[in-house]
Every structure is written in C-alpha cells, then in structure tokens.
C-alpha cells in the first residue's frame, strides 16, 4: 500500500513542482499547448476527515464507539488535446475506540457499524490503511466524456454509499454520451471494485462477500464468498426529458453470470401558486438471475437461479422557500428477495434511510415521512421517520439477515463553517430504531438492528485550488 501512496504523491506533487519552475530568459513564452500547461492549469485537491461513531444497544447487549481520522490528496489535470488524467489517494488512522473484533458476550454477534470506519476485510488491523483511489485517463470528444481506470461513479445501485471514512470506487470504462438534445446516455463496463470500508482493489467476483453474508434461502450460512464467477458488470442508462416537467431515467445493471437489475424511474414537478412546487416520483425495479446466479452449485451461488424480485417505490411532496415535506412508500413483492451486493452500493428506493437497507428482503412494506429545511447560511436540517414491515425473522427465504420489522427516526444536521474555517463541514446524524416485529426471545435479532441508538459526528475539510475566491 505504501507504494500506492508514493505513486499518488509523485503524480500530485510533480505538476506542482513543474508549475513552480521559473522561466529561463526574458524572451521565453509559455506553451499554451505544452506539458507545462497540462499540469499547471490542473486542479489540486485535498481532504481531511474526522469521524466519531457510537452505538448504544438495549440492556446488557454490547455498546460500541470508534474515532477515526484521515486525509487525502488528489490532482486532475487540465484538458490537453481533449485528454486529461486524474489521481488521488487517502489514508485512515484509528485514534480510539472499542474492541470491534470482540463478539458480544450474549449473542456472539459482531460489531456492525463502527467497524466500517476501517478495513472490514482485515478487521482489527489499523495499520497501512491507505488506498490509491482514483487513477484515470479521460477523453472529451465534443460534449461527451469517456473515462478509463479507477474512478468514482454514482448510479442508482452502484454508488459511493458515503457515510464511513471513504466511499466505494470502481475500475473500468465509463462513457457519458451527450450529443443528442434532451437525451443523455451512459454506458460502462466495470472489472474492479474497492468497496467502502476497505483499502484494497478487488476483481468484481472477489468483492462480493466482504460484508456479512446472511443466510441462504434454506436457512444455512450463505456460501458465496470466494465462489462467484463473473467477468464484470455492464451498465446502461438513458435519461430523457420528453417535456419540461418530466424526467425519465432507465438504468440496466447486468452482473455477468449473476443477475440483471432493471430500474425505470419517472420524476415530475408542477409549479403551483405562491412559489410552491409539487414534486413526485415513481420507480419500478425488476430482477432476475443470469445463468446460475454466480455458481452452478446453488448452495454457493449469490443470486438463486429461481429468484425473482419486483419493487415499486413512490414519493410525493411539496417545496417552498427552502422547506420540503415528502411522503414515500416502497413495496417489495413476495416473489423473492431483492438482492444486490452491499459492497457495490446502496439501494435507491425513496424510503431509504441511513443506517438500514431492505436488501436481502422480499414481501416488504415501507413508508417514510421526511421534513427538510435549507437555511440561507448553508445549514441543512433533515428529519425523517419511517415504518418498515419486513417478513417474520424466521421466514429465511424472504429475510436474508433476520431483520425484524422496525420503526426508525433519523435526525441529520449539516453546516458549512466560514471565515477562518472555510471549507470545514459539520455533519451530525442521530438514529433511533425501535422494534415492531417478534424477536422470539432471541437477542441476535435485536443487537445492532432494533431497540438501539446510533450517533455519528463528522468534520470534513475540503480544499480545491479551482474554488472560486
């Protein structure tokens, strides 16, 4: 890993040193198309992050906390003959915290949230936590963009899923085609992943199973880790504005030899009187297995070949003068489990609330209400409450992780500081999850899932040399 950081430091500092070299001779003129401009006109960026996280469980169940800090640097060159490149890296250091590798004494359950601040693939090791993050070459033919290499994508299912120290990153080729009026097309092929809460790069197959595995449809521990066969992930996205108030997005995610996920989403906005906007959205997600779902042996596969999933999600709400109020509903039918590797990203359903997911579930009803206020000084306050009705925890075919029905309250505050602390952002998150379902007197269905409080305080400092003064 240290060799990665050496590469990052060299590639970032080299252009800085070039731009600092004095001109030789009074008659020398800068080459507007030369290597010097390619580096000196680029963007240098830096980030520092401080993350404190704590979970308080019910009764005698274990409580946890962790404190992590980290920093990173990056560089993106100017465009030269339609080409540019980018590189970045980040390191993480543990300041303090609980013993995150010690199982709970009553349930033998492992820590769930705080361990994600570090390396889940090497739990308990807090040294050499550095990662080469971006390393890409980009080509800009006209309005379109083609990027090859390690990069940060943000799609409905494959995304950065921020909320720990570092996001999920991808390796492959990504094309953004913008040559047709009112239509945007994205397409790509991914062959590498570096999931959130890890510091290494993996093949797509190796990335599946780093996070907890849950149980297969027969109630046995899932056995797909290290047993998946896939060449990569193909993505296709078409976005269109058939008329001004309506936006239509179609996303197809094809995991070779594993599964296919199709998402169709429509969003629309109607401007009412007195500055009020009425916004609504509707999603439909359909999943099916590809070949044998990852392995011909169904006890070792990820996506059972007979599994199907159908998900409908809707939202509607009003916006006025920085205020917004939205209601949302999601239905996962009882046709099968909705499955998507958590290592790759979080689900895009309108009822999603931080610190819980519906992945691995079937036969789910979820409803949320979200109130948000954006203040003129940059302060953003978000309060969300929801009820999530999941299958009985003993219904393993439709409840992969044994998550009981629950209610959840999230309160989130974000505030950018100014003056001397310009570039510093504070992010405070409080989560309460209450129990609605039957635990059958088994606290394993309770710890880190329901009857718990969770707190997360983040301080971010972000610098960009291209930021407007």
> What pLDDT, on the 0 to 100 scale, is given for residue 364?
98
Residue 408 pLDDT exceeds 80:
yes
Residue 218 has pLDDT above 90, yes or no: yes
* Model confidence at 145: pLDDT above 50: yes
- 29 pLDDT exceeds 60? no
In 3D space, the residue among 126, 108, 110 whose CA is nearest the CA of residue 118 turns out to be 126
Q: What's 258's domain CATH number?
A: 2.40.160.10
Kindly report, residue by residue over 77-120, the tens digit of the pLDDT.
999 889 999 999 999 999 999 999 999 999 999 999 999 999 99
Establish if 31 belongs to a structural domain: no
Task: Report the candidate in 168, 93, 163 with the shortest Cα–Cα distance to residue 458.
Answer: 163
Q: What is the pLDDT of residue 3?
A: 53
> Euclidean distance between the first and final Cα of the chain, in Å?
36
Dist CA 455 CA 433 (whole Å): 12
Mean pLDDT of 217-228: 96
Residue 30 has pLDDT above 80, yes or no: no
28, part of any domain = no
Taking the CB of residue 317, how many other CB atoms lie within 10 A of it?
A: 19
Phi, psi of 253, deg, nearest 5: -115, 115
- Classify residue 219: in a domain, yes or no: yes
Residue 13 above 60 pLDDT?
Answer: no
Residue 225: which domain range? 2-20+37-464
Q: Residue 461 above 50 pLDDT? A: yes
> What confidence tens digit (pLDDT) does each residue in 340-390 have?
999 999 999 999 999 999 999 999 999 999 999 999 999 999 999 999 999
* Number of domains comprising the chain: 1
Determine the pLDDT at residue 425: 96
Residue 28: pLDDT above 50?
A: no
248 φ, ψ (degrees, to nearest 5): -120, 130
Mean pLDDT of 72-78: 95
Q: Is residue 26 part of a domain?
A: no
Residue 207 within a domain: yes
Tokens of 33: 């198309």
Q: Is residue 27 part of a domain?
A: no
pLDDT tens, residue by residue, 425-438: 999 999 999 999 99
Range of lowest pLDDT (144-148, 384-388, 464-468):
464-468
pLDDT tier, 142 (very low <50, low <70, confident <90, very high otherwise): confident
pLDDT above 60 for 241: yes
pLDDT interval class at 187 (50, 70, 90)? very high
Cα distances (Å, whole numbers) of residue 272 to 57, 158, 275, 278: 45, 35, 7, 7
Judge whether residue 24 has pLDDT over 50. no
Q: Long-range pairs for 186-190 at CB < 8 Å and ≥24 separation? A: 186/155, 186/235, 186/236, 186/237, 186/239, 187/234, 187/235, 187/236, 187/237, 188/153, 188/234, 188/235, 189/232, 189/233, 189/234, 189/235, 190/153, 190/158, 190/232, 190/233, 190/234, 190/235
Tell me what pLDDT residue 11 has.
54
Q: Is residue 29 part of a domain?
A: no
In this prediction, residues 306-315 reach a mean pLDDT of 97
Tell me, what's the pLDDT at 276? 95
pLDDT of residue 8: 54
DSSP one-letter code for 108: -
pLDDT at 179: 87
- State mean pLDDT over 329-338: 98
The pLDDT of residue 128: 82
Quick one: what percent of the chain has pLDDT higher than 90?
Answer: 85
Between 7-16, 142-151, 249-258, 345-354, the lowest mean confidence (pLDDT) is in 7-16
Domain-embedded: residue 25: no
Q: What is the pLDDT of residue 33?
A: 54
Task: State the chain's mean pLDDT as an integer.
Answer: 92
């Amino acid at each position: 890993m240290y060799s990665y950081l050496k590469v990052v430091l060299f590639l970032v500092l080299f252009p800085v040193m070039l731009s600092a070299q004095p001109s030789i001779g009074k008659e020398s003129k800068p080459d507007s198309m030369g290597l010097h401009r390619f580096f000196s006109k680029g963007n240098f960026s830096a980030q520092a992050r401080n993350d404190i996280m704590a979970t308080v469980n019910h009764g005698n169940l274990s409580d946890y906390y962790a404190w992590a800090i980290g920093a990173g640097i990056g560089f993106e060159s100017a465009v030269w003959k339609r080409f540019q490149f980018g590189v970045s890296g980040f390191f993480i250091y543990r300041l303090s915290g609980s013993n995150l590798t010690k199982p709970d004494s009553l349930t033998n359950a492992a820590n769930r949230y705080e361990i994600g601040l570090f390396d889940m693939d090497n739990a308990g090791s807090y040294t050499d936590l550095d990662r080469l993050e971006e390393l890409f070459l980009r080509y800009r033919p006209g309005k379109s963009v083609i990027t090859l290499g390690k990069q940060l994508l943000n799609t409905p299912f494959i995304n950065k899923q921020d909320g720990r120290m570092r996001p999920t990153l991808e390796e492959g080729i990504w094309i953004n085609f913008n040559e047709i009026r009112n239509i945007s097309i994205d397409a790509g092929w991914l062959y590498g992943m570096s999931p959130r809460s890890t510091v290494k790069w993996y093949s797509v197959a190796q990335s599946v199973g780093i996070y907890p595995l849950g149980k297969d449809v027969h109630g046995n521990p899932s056995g797909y880790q290290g047993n998946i066969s896939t060449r990569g992930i193909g993505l296709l996205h078409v976005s269109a504005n058939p008329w001004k108030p309506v936006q239509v997005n179609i996303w197809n995610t094809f995991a070779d030899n594993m599964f296919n996920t199709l998402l169709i989403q429509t969003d629309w906005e109607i401007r009412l009187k007195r500055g009020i906007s009425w916004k609504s959205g509707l999603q439909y997600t359909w999943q099916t297995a590809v070949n044998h779902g990852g392995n011909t042996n169904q006890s070792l596969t990820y996506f059972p070949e007979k599994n199907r999933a159908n998900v409908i999600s809707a939202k509607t709400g009003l916006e006025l003068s920085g205020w917004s109020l939205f209601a949302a509903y999601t239905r996962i039918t009882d046709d099968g489990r909705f499955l998507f590797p958590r290592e790759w990203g979080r689900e895009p359903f309108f009822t999603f609330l931080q610190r819980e997911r519906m992945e691995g579930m079937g036969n789910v009803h979820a409803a949320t209400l979200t109130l948000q206020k954006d203040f003129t000084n940059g302060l953003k306050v978000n309060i969300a409450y929801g009820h999530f009705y999941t299958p009985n925890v003993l219904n393993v075919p439709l409840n992969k992780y044994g998550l009981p029905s629950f209610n959840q309250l999230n309160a989130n505050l974000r505030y950018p500081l100014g003056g001397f602390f310009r570039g510093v952002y504070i992010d405070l998150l409080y989560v309460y999850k209450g129990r609605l379902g039957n635990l059958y007197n088994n606290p394993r269905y309770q710890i880190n899932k329901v009857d718990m409080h969770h707190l997360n305080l983040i301080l971010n400092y972000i610098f960009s040399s291209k930021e407007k003064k």
